[in-house]
Structure 1
Amino acid sequence: MRLTQSLRRWFIALLIGIATLVFSSGYQPAPATSSPPREIRGVWLTNVDSPVLFQGERLQQAVNDLAAHHFNTMYPVVWNWGYTTYPSTVAKRTIGSAVDPRPDSLQNRDMLTELVQAAHTRQIAVMPWFEFGFMAPEDSALAMRHPDWLTQKRDGSKVWQEGIYPRVWLNPLRPEVQQFIHDLLLEIVSRYDIDGIQLDDHFGLPAEFGYDRFTTALYQQEHNDRKPPSNPQDREWIRWRADKITAFTQQLFRDIKAQKSEVIFGLSPNNYRFSLNHSLQDWRRWERAGYVEELVLQVYRDSDRAFRHELRHPEVQAARRHIPVAVGILSGLRNKPVSMAQIQQQVNTVRQEKFAGVAFFFYETLWNLTPESQQQRQAGLKQLFPAAVDRVNLSI
């Protein structure tokens, strides 16, 4: 009995000593939720508020830094502001510029080739992000050259104001528009050794639009000469336009898979109700039909309650039983910092809810464009991603 009690006291003293030593050394415990054996760890790379795509050396350093912090997926923007960020023969033919002419640093180089080569060397997947979808700036060369491609509201106006920027929308029902978008995506798939492509919430149409002459005539042709409803939120009018976009998505998916079957067809939408009713994007139907092979749901919420609520919608839960569903987390904007504490909490919530991983918007706010020091941000990410893991794919 005395020997047992002595051993017990010795063991307790040993534990207290170890704990004192560890915590006095400044050790910070890792987040409570450990990382799964496979998960998507992604980040979007933009050409807005970020110079990362504009210099080869800077791009290589970004790849190295992301690899060191155990990221495994990059979503680089390839289509926005009415231009491509890679040299495109399709864009040259249609717009007049093979690549965005505004930053000189994109000229005379192929950013996407550089990125794919650098990323694959570090075992990081590359899924080019088709950010603007059917949207374009009002004063873009695309809009100026092809005014007949644009759709309009019921009052005849064509401008859709996004913050301080006046946008216009290509009509996703027009054959010429569909061919242009189709050719851009097939060009990327055929020319580059990419792992997938990603469409987002702009691959649709604001519900106020669709009152142009072409769409009105097509609707009348299919409705015994009846004109489209004056209410943009009319259920049948929403469904008819959404179904047309779905049909194009189906054809696009089939053509991409025929070109290169291993390329993942990805989508990053808003929540389903908003997507359908405000963007005519019926992603639930796309996913159930097999057109979407990876879903990264944009959940840019500050409160934990609102964040969890978005993850628990029935269509989200149904999708994650069918395909990998990751969660888009806001790591910050130029005028909206997000703390590392919030980022860690949301990543842990995603893991608790057993989703396929996370993607951060956007690269520059991981550790550069942030009020917290780079060292603090990187230390926080290392706690979340302490070791490298493979990404979750459809077949796994």
Structure 2
Amino acid sequence: MSFNTISVIGLGYIGLPTAAMFASRKKKVIGVDVNQHAVDTINRGEIHIVEPDLDMIVHAAVTEGYLKAVLKPEPADAFLIAVPTPFKKSLNQDDIPEPDLTYIQKAAEAIAPVLKKGDLVILESTSPVGATEQMAEWLAAARPDLSFPSANSEATDEMVDVNVAHCPERVLPGHVVRELVENDRVIGGITAKCSARAVELYNTFVQGECVITNARTAEMAKLTENSCRDVQIAFANELSIICDKLDIDVWELISLANRHPRINILQPGPGVGGHCIAVDPWFIVSKTPEEAKLIHTARKVNDAKPEWVINKVKIAIADFLQANPEKTAKDVTIACYGLAFKPDIDDLRESPALNITKKIAKMHSGRIIAVEPNIKALPIIAAEIELQKLGNAINIADIHLLLVDHVMFKANRPEKGVIIDTKGIW
């Protein structure tokens, strides 16, 4: 069965590019989002996020009538769910956050009324192991008149009305359009037919290989990729703390160590952010807390790095006041360069840079300014922070805190004031 109409639930950093890629292949795409602003923006042929080349693709797709955005799901042949999967604070004794599948459940319940026999439902959201099977159960509960696949059922593919699979995104912000097309995709159907139909759908635009496995392994594959990165970053972050104590330049050290043909140490930073690397390892730890010791420790190391940075700022304030005894803390202006969770994007989700800046604003009685070239306004949660242009910040601030290595920062090192460089570019 061909897929004439495709629905994408969640039009964020993954959902919108995915919807646009299907639409660019002349497929009718219905994007669904609860955000009225996002829906209105897309229907004007514009985008509400920063992602290179995406604006042109969306504009063409909307203008040609292949893409529209709505607030409620409409009938389609395939449904891709790309909603957030955050974690909630756990009350267990180990203080391990637990996955919050509320958004997935609400998305499943929203599409259930418009499902029909022959449809395909794919969970793209990065999820804990078992989430795809749980989604199928929610769908089955909402539509008892239809049959859904189950890992524990003896029902054959011929007895299943709606196919269900998991296909995690594996793209890098800033390169999403290209990587959606070129990267391999891991396809994990609950049954073999579910996988085959998902491969058929993604072959619409994916040029990479669609590798088939089961749903649980597909879920674990994405978690494994991000947990591996988290462990590697934790090593670099821990190394930076050690080097600071031993009065060693960590950037030079890593550069020297990486000259070994089998060594590739990553670069340290102020912490780990985004909705993947900072979140996904907890999905593994929450399921297997006794076994995931290294992954758990890496999370603790990376989560502790922002406080280490804040302590460096406190020391810098004290040193500045000692050198300028006529001034008080209220006279000290701090500029924080970068609020996004990684360079040259506008994504603030789980951003250590934003959280560090907010905490400094709360603890410091003086002026706090931020430079973030990829956003036009600060979120409400950071209202006490003053957004400034780069040139103004360089001239105004007494303490310069570099948090994100945006391209425009690299050639604009402040000539005066105290510099705290967490990315090694100044």
* TM-score, normalising length: structure 2: 0.25
Higher RCO (CA 8 Å, separation ≥ 6 residues): 1
* TM-score, normalising length: structure 1: 0.26
